[in-house]
Structure 1
Amino acid sequence: MKDTAKDFPLIAIILAAGKGTRFKSEKPKVLHKILGKPMIWYVKYAVSWIKPDEIVFVVGHKKEEVIKELNCDGCKFVYQEQQLGTGHAVLTAREYFKDFDGYVLIINGDTPLIGGETLKNAREYFKALIRYEGANLETYKGYRNKSIAGVMITARVPNPYGYGRVIKDGSHRVIKIVEEKDATPQEKNIKEVNSGIYLFYAPYLYDALEKLENNNAQKEYYLTDVIEILRQEEKYVYALEIPDYTEILNVNDRLQLAGVENILKQRYITFWALNGTTFHQPESTWIEFDVNLSRDVEIYQNCFLSGETSIDEGTIIEPNCIIKKSKIGKNVKILANSYIEDSVIEDNAIIGPFARIRNNAVIKESAVIGNFVEVKNSIIGERTNARHLSYLGDAEIGKDVNIGAGTITCNYDGFRKHKTIIKDRAFIGSDTMLVAPIVIGEEAITGSGSVITKDVPDKALAIERSQQKIIENYAEKRKKKVMENESS
């Protein structure tokens, strides 16, 4: 059967109103980041994977920040002014499914490990149950006479403490969900727990929500009570137990945030390792969702890869390197302790050790940027060498140029940045100061220790030095003068 949203009308509701008291933070809980993205981003990504007709976010605490961070075109937002429980949160979004003859996915915004494939499987399971009942999937009519009300994702966790235990019959129909504080010793031994992720037939959900009560110590409306209300009407929610319990882990404090982040990082490393990347000491590697690795890339310990970064075949990244939002070509060598951000490194280049490349820098093919060289907003041409202790900012440097140790492009006059142009095959002597704006011609040479303030023609030599003066026996004269001063 075809897999499209059209054959299963679906609205997704993502609950994102909570403050997250245990985080002890002014920031909304769902905006705390995991591998560089807010945790709710991962939930939105998984939900988008099954192509719902509508995605509705229930927002509350600092809703403007949440909406801005989500930046979700076409998404809908409803405001839960008071957080009165999960049932109340869904009630605030009822206008979107009040007259909807389809299905409603409900998921918490703090379950970032849930997979799109798992949500798809829940949808397919629901469809299979409907077929078993003999319903017409083409029309989606007449379900009020059927007994299938929904599907709930469950999992068996090693330590179920704090989770609602799932009690079900032999047909996988949920009888009830028992919270930790209400569970008997026998019920506490049950390891199958509620994920808080549900698929409901919308008309049944709407009717049950209207019957919710808050007869509990917290005076809250619990979504789990909907299951009991439906069961009393002989409409059942079925449990779909998934094999990987980590997918349903909630994030309620910063320790859990760190734990979930570590699991997600390991997933990424596993994926790329199985697709041809070598990781040395992978537990020390930081890698984010938007990073793309090719085959035969080799990454050593303590490396940090983030943002929309791509690394092409055969590249080696030595220990302690940071690469952010950059494109790295084939067979590049990034030596230890180098930092690259918002830049492009082309094939066969060598970077580092201890190099810094940033702000839209482009290092062309086979160029070398060596130890303690910083490149900012510059183009470094093919086969150009800048191997030692230099700063190249706002520069356009041609091919086969030699940049001597200690060279500095003096690009800032206190008010504006100015450009330095060094043309092909120029030779810049060590400790040269190039005061921009300036142009150094093809095959031009600058003498070591020069401060160059004027353009240099092609093939010319530019030298700017004070005349050297030598005073014979100066050391003896200086020593004698010091002794005389001390004795006086």
Structure 2
Amino acid sequence: MLQHVIDTAHELGADTIHTVIGHGADQVRQTISDDIIHWVEQRERLGTGHAVMQVLDHLPDDARVLVLYGDVPLIRKQTLAILVDHVCGDSLGLLTVTMDDPTGYGRIVRDADGNVTRIVEQKDASVDQQAIREVNTGILGVSAAHLKRWLPQLSNDNAQGEYYLTDIIAMAAKDSVEVASNQPADVMEVQGVNNRVQLAELERWFQLQQSQELMLQGATLADPARIDVRGNLSVGCDVYIDVNAVFEGEVTLGNRVHVGPGCVIKDAHIGDGTEIKAYSVIESSTIGENAQIGPYARFRPGNRLAANTKVGNFVELKKSVIGEGSKISHLSYVGDATLGARVNVGAGTITCNYDGANKYQTIIGDGVFVGSNCSLVAPVTVAPEATIGAGSTITRDVAASELAVARGRQRNISGWEKPKKH
């Protein structure tokens, strides 16, 4: 959640991001890495006003300050930009929202002319004030000079014994500083997270926003409510994404890419016209145009596939380069390998790339045919147009156009008794 807020602050062009931390401070520091973050620890948790006080000594007097919250992750840049524009010597920006049920929120109190005069917290509000439906989001933009004048005047003489940041609104009104309020386009922008139920609600709304953006870009989603984008997804024209697909990190889908149900794609580039069939997992790989992947294929990191390749069901790839038109159709493991163009790898074939201590390369040239159930013990090179007979274990290099057969002679034993179940 905090990373979302920090990313939005970056989009606004923040010079410095002062992040006030308390409970779990060390874990937060270890998790978030950003050069312009200035960490400030609030050793006593005495309210929002007290939290902002911890930053005062680090603010230049001429700074424009935007107060954001780490548990309000989905606030939009466009909404905040309006608040920042209101920050000047005689004005501050306040973000409010109108709710059907304002219970628990500070109420926005206005005078007869509609000017904001103060904010009253729920526990301190009168019966009439509790009926007010316009409430405070806590998000505001204000000059550092005003903060330095007002925050030292805060008192904790209230029902919660805390220093309310909201009390500066009454101070602004007293000093004839205009409180310019505006509201977000959607109330979900300013929803905070206090428990896992609220977290799940925000996640679903966030995913729906991303689904709508993808469809506006030209993607067809089988069900906009059943897709998860956990990073940045870029799509070309006429992309189709079936249900329950998950995208993580940086993913690019070219034109006419088809993603089947249940696929997980992370940090990958998928070329035009490629089809990723059901329940395939692709991580840190690049796939060329018009490829056929899956179903149930697994790409571990580091693969590069050329155009018109095929990696079929129950095939696992790792750190491999697959040349144009090559096929690994089913039930194979290919790791630390380089395959040329037009290679056919039969079912059940594995590259034995690990000797228990080190990894080795398998090189397969253009036009090689590898029969079913073969083991290629690396390091080994199979030259172009060679053929590997089914069931072979290849431990030596194979020259161009040779047929390699490496398997024991078959014996049929008469009178063999099958094992009996105890």
Q: Same fold (TM over 0.5)?
A: yes
Give per-residue Cα distances to partners, 1:149-174, cap 9 Å, x unaligned. Answer: 42210111233222112122355432
Query: Residue in 2 aligned with 1:7?
Result: none
1:245 has 2:207 as partner: no
Query: Residue in 2 aligned with 1:101?
Result: 62
Give the Å deviation of 1:208. Answer: 1.0
Report the AA paired with residue 316 of structure 2. E
Report the AA paired with residue 8 of structure 2. A
Question: Identity percentage over the alignment?
Answer: 39
Equivalences, count: 420
Query: Superposition pairs for residues 126-141 of structure 1, below 5 Å?
Result: 126=86
Give the Å deviation of 1:217. Answer: 4.1
Query: Residue in 1 aligned with 2:10?
Result: 48
Query: Superposition pairs for residues 98-247 of structure 1, below 5 Å?
Result: 100-124=61-85, 126=86, 143=89, 148-169=90-111, 171-247=113-189
Q: 1:482 to 1:182 in 2, by over 3 A?
A: closer
Distance 1:364 1:216 in 2: 68
SS at match of 2:119: strand
SS at match of 2:372: coil
Q: 1:171 to 1:392 in 2, by over 3 A?
A: farther
Query: Superposition pairs for residues 455-470 of structure 1, below 5 Å?
Result: 455-470=397-412
- Out of 20, 24, 27, the residue aligned to residue 65 of structure 1 is 27
Report the AA paired with residue 191 of structure 1. R
Contact 1:285 1:304 in 2 (8 A): yes
Higher mean displacement: 213-222 or 303-312: 213-222
Query: Residue in 2 aligned with 1:81?
Result: 43
Query: Residue in 2 aligned with 1:329?
Result: 271
Contact 1:347 1:366 in 2 (8 A): yes
SS at match of 2:153: coil
Report the AA paired with residue 109 of structure 1. G
SS at match of 2:225: helix
Distance 1:393 1:243 in 2: 50
The alignment yields a C-alpha RMSD, in angstroms, of: 2.0
Give per-residue Cα distances to partners, 1:229-255, cap 9 Å, x unaligned. Answer: 333344342322333211111112111
Give per-residue Cα distances to partners, 1:170-220, cap 9 Å, x unaligned. Answer: 554322222223334443332211111111232222111111111134332
Give the Å deviation of 1:343. Answer: 0.7
Distance 1:379 1:172 in 2: 67
Distance 2:237 2:32 in 1: 33
Give per-residue Cα distances to partners, 1:365-391, cap 9 Å, x unaligned. Answer: 101000111111111111001101111
SS at match of 2:231: coil
Give the Å deviation of 1:482. Answer: 10
TM-score with structure 1 length normalisation?
A: 0.82
Distance 1:456 1:211 in 2: 84
Query: Residue in 2 aligned with 1:288?
Result: 230
TM-score with structure 2 length normalisation?
A: 0.94
- Out of 424, 427, 441, the residue aligned to residue 366 of structure 2 is 424
Report the AA paired with residue 210 of structure 2. Y
User: Which sections of structure 1, spanning at least 5 residues, go unmatched?
Assistant: 1-38, 131-142, 484-488
SS at match of 1:105: strand
Distance 2:153 2:124 in 1: 22
Contact 2:226 2:244 in 1 (8 A): yes
Higher mean displacement: 342-351 or 77-86: 77-86
Give per-residue Cα distances to partners, 1:351-409, cap 9 Å, x unaligned. Answer: 00111111111121101000111111111111001101111011111110010111011
